[in-house]
Chain A
Amino acid sequence: MSAAPADALFEPRIDARRRRSRLFAGACVAVAAFTMTVLAVLLIDIAHDGWPYLTRSFLTRYPSVLDPKSGGMLSGIAGSIWIVGLTALLAVPIGVGAAVWLEEYAPQNRLTRFIRLNIANLAGVPSIVYGILGLAIFVRWLHLGRSVAAGALTMTLLVLPVVIIASREALAAVPNSIRQAAYALGATRWQTVRSHVLPAALPGIMTGVILSLSRAIGETAPLIMLGALTYVAFVPGGALSDYPSGAGGLLEWTQTALTDQFTAMPIQVFNWTSQPQKDFHDLAAAGIMALLGALLTMNAVAIGIRAWSQRTRT
């Protein structure tokens, strides 16, 4: 058996391989394009179904059990605003505080590592499990009932890991030289954090916070677990004008709102979608458009903050 010449063993087949590479690139582009097409189809389908129902009165009316044509989502919009507003009030200070501790204060020991691991795992806990937690702790144990307060507390626990992770990333991006400069001038740790690190990290923190709150707007499962109602013909607290004017009336209104039952935008969408009639489905599509509109607004604000901070920093 004679040995084959060396260049016959080695076949570069460079043209065929290049062709295959280009083909693969084409397939990748096709896949990416397919994904975007799906997104487009989803939006067009929803807009097509929901547009006729998305009127001014849809946004300012209460839902109707019997007649889809006269249904609205006022109580859902009000409920969502209350829940997300309260969630922001609770989750932002706690989340940013925890992130500051982890990034600026925490010693390198087992406790710190455990807390970090724990936060990463909490971010992966299904949202419905937070709903079960809220049902057992806030609704039953603390006797808050199926109230706005219970909903907001549950939502706070749900978004906290996301807020902490986003804030930590923003804090970690602050250059160390800023901290060293502050320490060199005799600032204490808190003075350094408050006056130098936090302001530098603020745009990043705000972007992350807004994105995690926009997640809270769309969350349905935990609120259903808490027993948020599907038909609610009032807004939490009722009309502010029914209360005496001044701080006392405002306080009373807030107290009533916190203990009131509620519904939220995604819950109404869920409820309408689970009805068999086509009219209710179209109403759900209109509700989805309102929901996506709220999300889009929040994301636009987040992008705006990022762009603004990049402009002012340079």
Chain B
Amino acid sequence: MPAIVRKTREGAIHAALFACAVVSILTTAAIVWVLVSESLGFFRHVPLADFLFGVRWAPLFEPRSFGVLPLVCGSLLVAGGALLIAVPIGLASAVFLSEYASPGVRQFAKPVLEILAGVPTVVYGYFALTFITPHVLQRLLPGTEIFNAASAAIVVGIMIIPTMSSLCDDAFRAVPRTLRDAAHGLAATKLEVSTRVVLPAAMSGVAAAGLLALARAIGETMAVTLAAGMTPKLTFNPLTSVQTLTSYIVQVSLGDTPHGTIEYQTIFAVGLTLFAITLTINLAAQRVIRRFREAYE
């Protein structure tokens, strides 16, 4: 093959591969552009301050009100509850996997944990609505509504356990063997090694895992829509129905909302809020990893 042909072909292939990588930048640009440009239309009708600090969300019926706080509150209630479940269980599972489990147990237990993340979220919604609420919550706490934040928090918590445990496990395993050996050499028990040597050394990884799990919980949609209901409410009572940012978006898209109306534009304003929150948390997680990582040689 003549050199010129070969050179042209190499160049063309390089360009094509680069174009593939650029798709990801275009995707981000498109997300930001779509959310911001449609939200601008919304904010021409609703003042930004009313949206951000309003305490009543009633965009679909009169008298209308566009305060996003009830939705943010619903999202935080569900995500906070989910973290209460996922952080202790995920951490304990990670300590077990990295510090206690034999290689054989580990090889079995890790994929089983990962299954929890692979189950479609709509399945968790079914489980929350038809099992956890009637057979667990309503038996223990008779006042529980059919749709409630608690059941959503429980299933979202289960769903993000693998995020937590996998990332913490990675962080623990990155702590060098020598630190553990030194502590064991000073007659520390396994518990002391885990909690006073390994955990502090891996703290940045654990914090980042918590943040990533939180972002996933806030972005979770189908399970929350099915389990938590559709009632926007500024409440911290987990036994009543709430609406989250994500389930509001689903509610609007299930209905017949004409393009260009203010109801249609609320999707984008709420979507922008959701995107801003999850992006901030994800960036914070990356920053935590970079800034506070204990580097070992």
Contacts and interface: CB of A to CB of B under 8 A. Distances in A.
Interface in A119-167: 119-122, 124-133, 135-137, 140, 157, 160-161, 164
A105 B271 CA distance: 36
Interface string B216-246: 1011111001100000000000000000001
B30 A137 contact: yes
Contacts of B88: 31
Contacts of B20: 93-95, 97-98, 100-101
Interface size class of A (residues with CB under 8 A): 35 or more
Contacts of A57: none
B109 interface: yes
A35 interface: yes
A188 interface: yes
Contacts of B123: 42, 46, 218, 269, 288, 291-292
B250 interface: yes
A95 B215 CA distance: 24
Contacts of B216: 124
Consensus secondary structure, chain A interface: helix
A249 B219 CA distance: 43
Contacts of A288: 122-123, 126
Contacts of B126: 46, 269, 273, 281, 284-285, 288
A189 B286 CA distance: 32
Contacts of B24: 98, 115, 118-119, 122, 160-161, 164
B115 interface: yes
Given A121-B28, A221-B221, A38 B158 contact: yes
A115 B22 CA distance: 8
Given A45-B131, A133-B31, A273-B125, A291 B93 contact: no
B116 A224 contact: no
A20 B196 CA distance: 14
A24 interface: yes
Contact of B286 (A41, A120, A135): A120
B254 interface: yes
Given A46-B127, A218-B120, A122 B27 contact: yes
A172 interface: no
A221 B250 CA distance: 7
Given A17-B192, A41-B131, A31 B222 contact: no
Given A45-B127, A118-B25, A132-B271, A18 B92 contact: no
Contacts of A93: 20
Nearest to B194: A24
B120 A126 contact: no
A14 interface: yes
B89 to A, nearest CB: 5
B282 interface: yes
Contacts of B282: 120-121, 124
A21 interface: yes
Consensus secondary structure, chain B interface: helix
Contacts of A68: none
Interface in B13-40: 13-14, 16-25, 27-28, 30-31, 34-35, 38
B96 A29 contact: yes
Contacts of B250: 128, 221, 224-225
Interface stretch (B44-52, B173-181, B273-281): B273-281
B17 A98 contact: yes
Contact of A128 (B112, B192, B249, B286): B249
A192 B123 CA distance: 45
A87 interface: no
Interface in B255-283: 259, 267-268, 271, 274-275, 278-279, 282-283
B161 to A, nearest CB: 6
Contacts of B219: 124-129
B102 interface: no
B278 A125 contact: yes
Interface in A207-257: 211, 214-215, 217-221, 224-225, 227
B293 interface: no
A115 B29 CA distance: 12
A28 B96 contact: yes
Contact of B253 (A27, A135, A161): A135
Highest count of chain A CB atoms <10 Å: which of B23, B89, B93, B97: B23
A211 B79 CA distance: 26
A20 B127 contact: no
A219 B121 CA distance: 8
26 contacts: A17-B191, A17-B192, A21-B190, A24-B194, A27-B92, A31-B88, A34-B89, A46-B126, A94-B20, A98-B24, A100-B17, A105-B17, A118-B24, A124-B219, A126-B218, A126-B219, A126-B221, A126-B246, A128-B271, A132-B268, A135-B253, A190-B9, A220-B122, A221-B121, A221-B250, A273-B125
Given A17-B189, A221-B121, A266-B122, 10 more contacts: A24-B190, A28-B100, A34-B89, A42-B119, A45-B130, A117-B286, A121-B282, A211-B118, A219-B120, A299-B118
